[in-house]
Amino acid sequence: MQTPADVLIEALPYFREFYGKIVVVKYGGNAMIDETLKEQVMQDIALLHYVGIRPILVHGGGPEISALMKQMGYEPTFVGGLRVTDAATMEIVEMVLAGKTNKSIVALLNRQGAQAVGLSGKDANLIVACKMHSPKGDLGYVGEVARVNPGILNLLVERGYIPVVSSVAIGPDGESYNVNADHVAGHIAAAVGAAKLVILTDVEGLYADYNDKSSLIVDMDVARAEEMLRTGAADRGMIPKLEACITAIEGGVPRCHLIDGRKPHALLIEIFTDQGIGTMVHGSGA
């Protein structure tokens, strides 16, 4: 049976490996809804900060957006899994993501003693997007990341702050765009030269066959990830997450992880233990 000292000794090589490095965490799913899990994720992020790792948190907030839309008399509409975002919906998206949800996460982190700063992609032109054109129809103000300007993030992490980034982006003419938060996390991880991208999900990881829970893929290279996207083998909810991993790895991030955010302290288990959890995606030949 492990003693507390054994746990710390096991974690020591990981403290050393990631000290001073940036780790980007995409926060979403049930971990954003369940109050106990919220608290645990914030504790995990604060602990990363206090052992010398530089976390950057990226979040979406789909359920909160849909809830406020319904309160205001709008019915959410989706095409190909993407929210149709007209001008009125974009206002609600920005209110929720850059306002309520972002500031709630900042407050939770600050309660843990960390100094968090909330940002949207519009701050310092952090995330510049262009309109997404879908063959399934006009999605309105749904965007794709065109570029990330990481200066504000680098400045904040160097000064000891934890950036909390919502997935609202700015267009070339100053318009707002709703961008998938997984994609934002992948692009940010590449832009800041992160040591890891960790994406919290509502499943154990990536399955070779979603209907067969014994088919969990523990380790895969980027070539297999691309093949799963090409052949349609990836479950729909995993598609943007795999795309984010590919973006990050092609941008120089060594490893990406898809982990079960429903598991208490999943982040700490992944980063600081020998066994890890979920699915790791890495470059070909790594």
- Cite the annotated binding site for substrate by residue number: 61-62, 83, 178
User: Do residues 274 and 214 touch, judged by C-beta distance below 8 A?
Assistant: no
Distance CA 44, CA 51 (A): 11
> What is the biggest distance separating any 2 CA atoms in the chain, rounded to whole angstroms?
60
The Cβ of residue 193 has, within 10 Å, a number of other Cβ atoms equal to: 13
Computed over its alpha carbons, how large is the radius of gyration of the chain? 18
CA angle, corner 24, sides to 116 and 112, nearest 5?
30
User: Do residues 104 and 136 touch, judged by C-beta distance below 8 A?
Assistant: no
Distance CA 246, CA 252 (A): 10
Residue 178: both structure tokens together: 């709703």
Distance CA 144, CA 118 (A): 21
Residue 77: both structure tokens together: 């509409």
Which segments are annotated as binding site? 61-62, 83, 178
126 CB-side CA count, 13 A: 26
The Cβ of residue 57 has, within 10 Å, a number of other Cβ atoms equal to: 24
